[in-house]
A = this chain, B = another copy of it.
Amino acid sequence: MAGSSYGTVFRITTWGESHGKALGVVIDGCPAGLELEESHIQRYLDRRRPGVSAISTPRRENDAVEILSGVFEGRTTGTPILLMIRNTSQISGDYSEIAACYRPGHADYTFDQKYGFRDYRGGGRSSGRETAGRVAAGAVACRILEQLGVNVCAYTRSIGPVEADMNRFDRAAILSTPTAMPDRTADEAAVRYLEEIKKATDSVGGCMECMIDGMPAGIGDPVFEKLDANLAKAAMSIGAVKAVEIGDGCLVSSRRGSENNDGFCVSDGRILKSSNHAGGILGGISDGDRIVIRAHVKPTPSIYLTQRTVNTDGQETDINIKGRHDPVIVPRAVVVLECMTALTVLDAMMINMSARMDSLIDFYRK
């Protein structure tokens, strides 16, 4: 309830601060019998590591994950899995300015208001570094989903004014371009744009998108635990996300019903929809079609321009943020969206197993 846990059946609790000794996650409710080793998780963590290109911070992070419990002889045991990442490259520098001032666009002020004080080193718990725990747990969720035939894939949809063209969609590009765009042409344009932004010592926002393929119909619960409601929460819980869309999203508010409804049809004996404006969810429950979710991310709030703010003594002052910061958050946040989506979908699928009497009877009386 204090906020660092997520999920109901597949339940995770992340812990750790940006510049503390270590950070990580504990997963309770992982099904027993999954083959799991550190390399499966490391692959996902590496995607949130700053790159070497011009567009990312020159920080060297080497987030090596350790499995401390819950895996025996290469398989999950059904008991809690503790994943830990030592903070090695967080050389605590000079935090006197963050400690004494409220950085615009950051959570310094609100943490002080809530808790009375805060761990100001690198943003403490409100740092983007907190997402390492989510990604570690999400990697496990993705691995399970894969075995259930469900594939989750997130990528950068746009950076500032540069948008990926979905007609040029290239899945391989997501993991190989510096922007995590699925369109190499747009990626190049975005990199050029980011160089300008960097020169202007400014930052920029962007949009990320996630698709879920292979989703069975019938997942999600009516009313408050709608699958789209939980996906929206999942995405909005990522720092800097300010808007979430499902399927055609904002566009629907200016559409007519005759344009927006997706008719049902039959193909090869399967019931399908002839279009997918809904983004794969009807009444909060998956309809078997591709699920599409988009999250709009604000510009990195740490910029190198002088800004006006207030210090902890309540006096107005100028602030000049130092340190190393990405000009755009999106490329490194894409894997976080993918992981939050996977955690949400897996949890809904596990919950769904007891929705029908015939399932219970099959399970216990077969």
Contact = CB atoms under 8 A, between A and B. Distances in A.
A10 to B, nearest CB: 8
A183 interface: no
A356 to B, nearest CB: 5
B217 A274 contact: no
Interface stretch (A49-57, A169-177, A282-290): A282-290
A322 to B, nearest CB: 15
Contacts of A34: 357
A4 B223 contact: yes
16 contacts: A1-B9, A3-B284, A4-B223, A13-B26, A15-B26, A26-B26, A79-B125, A107-B282, A110-B281, A110-B287, A114-B352, A115-B218, A144-B360, A148-B364, A233-B233, A236-B246
Given A119-B72, A254-B158, A308 B2 contact: no
**A253, A309, A359: most-surrounded residue (chain B CB, <10 A):** A253
A218 to B, nearest CB: 4
A11 interface: yes
A105 B261 contact: yes
A263 B319 CA distance: 10
A335 interface: no
Contacts of A119: 72, 77, 79
A246 B283 CA distance: 23
A116 B285 contact: no
A364 B260 CA distance: 31
A3 B220 CA distance: 8
Contacts of A222: 3-4, 79, 107, 111, 125-126, 130
Nearest to A366: B362
Nearest to A69: B16
Nearest to A357: B33
